[in-house]
Amino acid sequence: MLVGNDYTSFVQEKKLRKSVNFFRDHCADGNKNLKLADVFDQVSELDGFHVESTDPNQQLNIEFSRALFRLENISPFLEERDDNDDDDLAFNGEEEEKKEDAEEIIDDTDMNNYVKAFDQSLVPASGGLGGKDFCLKSHIMSPFENVLHEGEDIVPFLEETYDVMRAQSLSYVCVPSKLKWSHVQLSTLFQRSIRATLNIVPKGILGYECSPSMIFDHLCFFHALVARMVEEVDPETNDLAPNKKERSSHHTRLALPIDAHKDAILKSVKENRVTIIQGETGSGKSSRVPVMLLEAPPPEPTSNKVKMFICQPRRIAAKSLTERIRMTEPHLKDLIGLRMGHGVREYESKRTQAWFVTTGYLVRYLANNQGAFHDVDYLIIDEVHERSIDSDILCLLAKRLLETHPKIRIVLMSATVAADMYQKYFDVSEPPIFVGVRCFPINEYFVEDIGKHLRLSSKECKALDEIKDKCNKSRCQLAPNSHHILKLHHLAAQIAVEVGKGGTSVLIFVSGMADIVSITEIFEGMVGSIKYNCVPIHSDIPFEDQMEAFDSPKQNEVKIIIATNAAESSITLPDVDNVICFGLCKAITYNKQSHRQMLETTWISKANATQRAGRTGRVREGSVYRLYPRKAFNDYFRKFEEGEILRSPLDSVILNLRTIVADESITEILRGCIEPPDTVNIENSFNSLFNRKFTTAANDNFEITSLGDLVVALGIDLTIGALVGFGARLGSLRETIEVAAILSFPKSPWLLPNALLQEPEVYNGENYFF
C-alpha cells in the first residue's frame, strides 16, 4: 500500500542497509520473509518510535518529509530547482548505438556536448521577454541559431515546419514508418526549446497563441522530417546523404548551367527593358539571377546601388529561396529580405536591396505604391508560366510600370514559358535567353508507334488503332468516353508489364482517382515472379502514402506510380525509366451560362505533355509512351494551358481591382491583360456582384458596398465572406465564422475510406487509431 516514495528509494535502501537490517534482526526472529504487517505490529509496541539516520543528507530528508506529511511549514527545506535537471531525455546515447545511426540529422560526434551548449543557449534565448516585441517563433528558434554552425540547414527547415504546424494545415493519422532515433532527438530539442519559451510567457497573457497543441504537432513534425529525408536521396545511388558534410553541400555554391550565361544575361538586362530567361528545372535561374544582378553594377549610371523585387508564385518558394541565398552567398546576407502577405517581413533592414516576395503580395503592393518603385532597378517574375490570375494581373501592372518608370527593368523566368506570347505582350525584340540543357535523351512513342516498338497481342494492337482513330476523328475536342478510358487502362497495364524491369518504376499519368483504382485492380490480379507495387499520387491521398513513390523498388519488384497532374512538376522520382501518358487531366473550366467553375476531364496542353515526359530522363535515358496520336499532339493540343483568368468567374478579381484602382474602368484594365477575358464573362461578373449586394451597380460604374468591403478585406471566397457579413448583421457572427471556416477548408474534412490506402481492418472500421 505504501509505495511511490520519493524520499526513500531503492538506492537509499542499499546505502542504508543497516536500517533495514534492524528489522530483520529485531522484529521477526531473523525471518527473511518479513511481512509488512509484522513490522507494523512490532513498531506499534515500541513507545515513541521514530526514525533517525546517521547520514546527514538522509536525516535532512527524514526531517523534511516529516514536516511535509504532518502539514507543517517546509519552507526552510526548499531551494530553487535546476530546470535542466530532468532534461537528459533522449540524449544519453551510448556511443555504440550512435555509430549505428548513420543518418544523424544533427550530426555531432558528441551529442551530450551539443545538448549542453543547447541548454546554455536556452537561458539567454528565453530571457528578454518584452511586451509587444515578443515573438514566440524567434524565441523558440533562437537556441538553434545560437548553437548550430553557420551553413547548417536545419534552422530554415525547422522554421518552415514551425510555420506549417502553426497553420495547422496538415493532418495525419499515423506516424511515418521511416522515423529514426535522430528524428526523436531533434523533436526533443525542438520541444525543449518550446517549453523553455512557454515557461517565460506570463500565464494567460498570450492565450491560445501559447497552447503547445497550437505550436507543436509531433505527427506533422515527423512527416516533415521524413519528407526532408526523401528530398535528400542521392538520385544516382538512391542513398540517403550519409552525413551533414554532404548534405550541407546543397547550400554551398556549386557550378550551375546558368553560370555559363552570366555575361549574356547581364548584357541583355542592361540593354533591354524586358528580358526573358528560359531554362530547365535545376538550371539555377531562381537562385543565381538575383545574385548576378545584385553583384553587377546598377544598369543606370544615376543609381547608387541596385534595388530589386523577386516574385515567386508560392510562399514556400519565396521563403526557401531567401534562406538559400542567404546561406550560399554570405557576403550578400544582409542585402536579402523577405516580404509576404499577412504582414510577414523577415531579414529586412536599411541595407536590404533585394526583396523576395509572393505574387499576391506584389500585386497589392505595386497597385497601391507605384511611387515606391521609382528607385527599383529590377522586377524579376519567376515561374511566369504559372498563369494564375495574380500572375496575369502582375504582368499587366508590370507593363504599366515600364511606361511610368523609365528606369525599371523586368526579367521573366520559367522552364516552359510561352515566350512568343510574352515577347509580343511586352514588345520584346530580343529572343529569350536559353540556359541549361537536358543531359539524357527521352525516346518518344505515340500511339501509332507503340505497336511497332513493343511486343503486344493483336487485341492490344487493335485497341491502339481504335484509340488513334477516335482521337483523330474527335480532334480532341471532347473528353473520351468510358469505353475509350477502359481501353487506356488495359493498354497502360500491358505496356507497363512489357517495359517494366525489376528494380525500376513506371509512371502512369491519368486524369483522376477512378483511373488509379481501375489500373491498380488490373495489377492486383497479376501473378508471377515479378511483383507490381502500385503507388498512387493524388491530392486526396495522405502525404505519407504518396511518399512511397520515392522509395526505391526491390530487385524483383516493379513500382507502378499512378499519378494525376499532381506529379507533373516540382517532384523528382529518380528511378522512373518509363512514363505512360493518357493525355488527359481534370481541369477547372468556366461555364458562361451558369457563371460557375466546373471540374471536367479534358485533354492536356503541349506544355503539360512536355512536363510529364520530363519526369524521366533525369538521371539516365528514358522513354515516354503517349496514348494519343502524333497528329493530336501537333495539331489539336493547345500549346499552353489557358490562364486562370479565362477559366474563372471574375467576381473576386473585379472587386479586388476596384479596391486597387478606384478611378479607372475595370473592363479596360482587364482588356489589357496578356490574355484578356471574354466580355461576356466580365459582364456576368458585374451582374453577379450586384445581385449579391457587393456593388452598387451591375456595370463598370459601380462602387463597393460595405458588404463588398468586408469580403475583400476577409480575402476568402466571396460567398463565404458574405455568409460572415450576414452573420454579423443577424447577430450570429460566431456560428457563421465557424461554418465559414469549415467551408473554406479546401479538402473534405473527412478521410475517405479507400481499399487502396488502408489496411483491411482499418478500411472495415476497426482500430482506426494509431
Partner 1 sequence: MLDMKKVQQVTDEVMRQFVHVHKVNVSVYLDGNKQPRKALTRASRGERRMVEESNLRKFFTKQILPPSFRSRNNRSGKIKIPDPYTFMSEFPLPILLFQQVEHSLYMWAGKFDRGEFEDSEAFFRVTQCESEADQAVAMESALDTSNRTFAIGQDSDYCVFGFKLDNELWVMGDLHVQYLPLDGLTIDEEGIRGYVVTRRHIAEEFHISEDLIVEVRYISSTPD
Sites for partner 1 among residues 32-71 (CB under 8 A):
36-37, 39-41, 43-44, 49-51, 57-58, 60-62, 64-66, 68-71
Among 30, 32, 78, 731, binds partner 1 (CB under 8 A): 78
Q: Which is nearer to partner 1, 102 or 697 (CB)?
A: 102
Beta strand 409-414 with 354-358: parallel, antiparallel or unpaired?
unpaired
Question: Is residue 749 close enough to count as binding partner 1 by CB under 8 A?
Answer: no
Question: Distance (Å, rounded) from C-alpha 678 to C-alpha 93?
Answer: 66
Residue 222 φ then ψ, to 5°: -70, -35
Among 29, 47, 95, 100, binds partner 1 (CB under 8 A): 100
Residue showing cell 465557424? 738
Among 32, 47, 54, 75, binds partner 1 (CB under 8 A): 75
| Under 8 Å between Cβ of 465 and 293 | no
Among 101, 110, 430, 759, binds partner 1 (CB under 8 A): 101
* Smallest distance, partner 1 to C-beta of residue 140, A: 12
Q: Which is nearer to partner 1, 101 or 759 (CB)?
A: 101
Question: Distance (Å, rounded) from C-alpha 283 to C-alpha 265?
Answer: 14
Question: Distance (Å, rounded) from C-alpha 433 to C-alpha 476?
Answer: 33
Stretch that binds partner 1, among 13-21, 249-257, 316-324, 749-757 (CB under 8 A): 13-21
| Under 8 Å between Cβ of 226 and 240 | no
* Smallest distance, partner 1 to C-beta of residue 218, A: 6
| Under 8 Å between Cβ of 122 and 143 | yes
Lookup: cell for 716: 476568402
Stretch that binds partner 1, among 16-24, 103-111, 228-236, 287-295 (CB under 8 A): 16-24
What's the one-letter identity of residue 432?
P
Q: Which is nearer to partner 1, 163 or 295 (CB)?
A: 163
Among 115, 140, 148, 194, binds partner 1 (CB under 8 A): 194
Among 121, 161, 191, 564, binds partner 1 (CB under 8 A): 191
Among 126, 158, 192, 362, binds partner 1 (CB under 8 A): 192
| Under 8 Å between Cβ of 567 and 509 | yes
* Smallest distance, partner 1 to C-beta of residue 45, A: 10
Q: Which is nearer to partner 1, 302 or 769 (CB)?
A: 769
CA angle 687, 693, 695 (to 5 degrees): 65
Lookup: cell for 172: 495525419
CB crowding 482-501: b at 16 or more within 10 Å, else e: eebbebbbebbbbbbbbbbe
Question: Is residue 733 close enough to count as binding partner 1 by CB under 8 A?
Answer: no
**Footprint of partner 1 on residues 262-291 (CB under 8 A)?**
none
Torsion of CA 242, 244, 249, 251, to 10 degrees: 140
Question: Is residue 92 close enough to count as binding partner 1 by CB under 8 A?
Answer: yes
| Cβ burial, residue 663 (10 Å; 0-12/13-18/19+) | exposed
* Smallest distance, partner 1 to C-beta of residue 556, A: 24
Query: What are the residues facing 370 on neighbouring strands?
Result: none
Lookup: cell for 371: 511611387
Stretch that binds partner 1, among 88-96, 155-163, 485-493, 742-750 (CB under 8 A): 88-96
**Footprint of partner 1 on residues 135-174 (CB under 8 A)?**
none
Lookup: cell for 340: 509576404
Range list of H helices, 129-261: 136-147, 154-167, 181-200, 212-215, 218-231, 244-247
Among 29, 85, 403, 668, binds partner 1 (CB under 8 A): 85
CA angle 77, 79, 80 (to 5 degrees): 160
**Footprint of partner 1 on residues 212-271 (CB under 8 A)?**
212-213, 216-219
Binding mask 326-365 toward partner 1 (x if CB under 8 A, else -) reads ----------------------------------------
Q: Which is nearer to partner 1, 203 or 455 (CB)?
A: 203
Question: Distance (Å, rounded) from C-alpha 677 to C-alpha 645?
Answer: 6
Q: Which of 605, 640, 647, 637 is nearest to 418 (CA)?
A: 640
* Smallest distance, partner 1 to C-beta of residue 174, A: 10
* Smallest distance, partner 1 to C-beta of residue 8, A: 5
* Smallest distance, partner 1 to C-beta of residue 222, A: 8
Question: Is residue 600 close enough to count as binding partner 1 by CB under 8 A?
Answer: no
Total chain residues near partner 1 (CB under 8 A): 82
Residue showing cell 546561406? 327
Residue 50: count other Cβ atoms within 10 Å of its Cβ. Answer: 7
Q: Which of 590, 715, 585, 720 is nearest to 648 (CA)?
A: 590
Q: Which is nearer to partner 1, 6 or 236 (CB)?
A: 6
Question: Is residue 728 close enough to count as binding partner 1 by CB under 8 A?
Answer: no
Question: Is residue 768 close enough to count as binding partner 1 by CB under 8 A?
Answer: no
* Smallest distance, partner 1 to C-beta of residue 642, A: 41
CA-based torsion, 417, 423, 426, 429: positive or negative: positive
Q: Which is nearer to partner 1, 127 or 441 (CB)?
A: 127
* Smallest distance, partner 1 to C-beta of residue 70, A: 5
Q: Give every CB contact of residue 752 below 8 A, 6+ residues apart in sequence.
A: 540
Stretch that binds partner 1, among 200-208, 506-514, 623-631, 744-752 (CB under 8 A): 200-208
Question: Is residue 679 close enough to count as binding partner 1 by CB under 8 A?
Answer: no
Question: Is residue 621 close enough to count as binding partner 1 by CB under 8 A?
Answer: no
* Smallest distance, partner 1 to C-beta of residue 180, A: 6
Question: Distance (Å, rounded) from C-alpha 761 to C-alpha 83?
Answer: 45
| Under 8 Å between Cβ of 587 and 602 | yes
Stretch that binds partner 1, among 20-28, 123-131, 378-386, 630-638 (CB under 8 A): 20-28
